[in-house]
Structure 1
Amino acid sequence: MPDTTTIYSDIPDSGTLGGRLARARNAAGLSAAQLARRVGVQSATVQSWEDGRSQPHANRLPTLAGVLNVSLSWLLHGVGPAPAEEDPRTAQDLGPQLARLKRLHRETAEIIVRLERHMDRIAAH
């Protein structure tokens, strides 16, 4: 047995901090502007971090990890579980399902009204 051990046995994410930041932001379903607002910076700053032109100050890193629901070790070094991939469904994909659900809701409401009227007639006799 070797005299050293690793804290994580999987292969680390070899991407850049900016790449991991963008990946986590996308997985969280946030735009750069939304992340910027939550962290308290300009959206251009987030873009600069993601493009690798600059890096977040150390005091911002725990906030970024928390907002993006990733570990600080993954964000900084790619060590640990990566964020779940973004759900590939879009609003366009879900639109027909929502329309069907609304139609069923209206139909159910109509049936309830008819049933209540019928029960009122029965009770009146």
Structure 2
Amino acid sequence: MNDNSTGGWYAAENATFGDRLAAAREAAGMTQQQLAKRLGVKAGTLRGWEDDLSEPRANRLQMLSGLLGVSLPWLLMGQGDDVSAPDESGELPRDLTDMLTELRNLRSDLVAKADRLAVLEKRLRAKLKEDS
């Protein structure tokens, strides 16, 4: 599978969505349980995505992209450079890794809060429309 002449390790013809999701999660230093918790899904749901038994909805795809620090086109189709192939990634100093992890966590928290805000706004608009 490590044939870069056919478009790279994680290109669409070499890897599935689940392969890229698992690689991005591992590169982010998260377990399936940790990522599932951050996304607000069950670990079994995430496992199903990684095993290509099911696919996430669009809102979860965007959250995955932001949380894992990869582009949506890469996650879906393997287009672009976001995660190094196995045995090609360089180790970063621990303090930089910690900062990157904290940034990812903050970004995912912001995405989750924005989603909650949108739901609340929709409910408020419906209630105002109902009352008028």
TM-score norm. by structure 1 comes to 0.58
Identity, in percent, stands at 47
> What whole-Å deviation, never above 9, does each CA across 1:80-111 have from its counterpart, x for those lacking one?
11324474xxxxxxxxxxxxxxxxxxxxxxxx
SS of aligned partner of 1:46: helix
Q: Which amino acid is the alignment partner of residue 21 of structure 1?
A: L
Question: 2: distance between equivalents of 1:46 and 1:62?
Answer: 14
Q: How far is 1:38 from its partner?
A: 0.8
Question: 2: distance between equivalents of 1:42 and 1:68?
Answer: 17
Aligned to 1:120: none
Which runs of structure 2 are paired with 1:1-125 in the superposition (5 Å)?
Answer: 11=7, 13-14=11-12, 15-84=15-84, 85=89, 87=91
8 A contact 1:27–1:83 mirrored in 2? yes
* Larger Cα-atom Rg: 1
Question: 1: distance between equivalents of 2:7 and 2:90?
Answer: 21
Change (3 A) 1:55 1:86: farther
Higher RCO (Cα < 8 Å, 6 or more apart): 1
Structure 1 residue runs of 5 or longer lacking an equivalent are 1-9, 88-125
Question: 2: distance between equivalents of 1:22 and 1:86?
Answer: 18
Structure 2 residue runs of 5 or longer lacking an equivalent are 1-5, 92-132
Q: Which amino acid is the alignment partner of residue 18 of structure 2?
A: G
Q: RMSD between aligned alpha carbons?
A: 2.1
Segments ≥4 residues shifted beyond 3 Å: 84-87
Change (3 A) 1:69 1:43: same
TM-score norm. by structure 2 comes to 0.55
8 A contact 1:17–1:75 mirrored in 2? yes
Aligned to 2:121: none
SS of aligned partner of 2:7: coil
Q: Report the count of equivalent residues.
A: 79
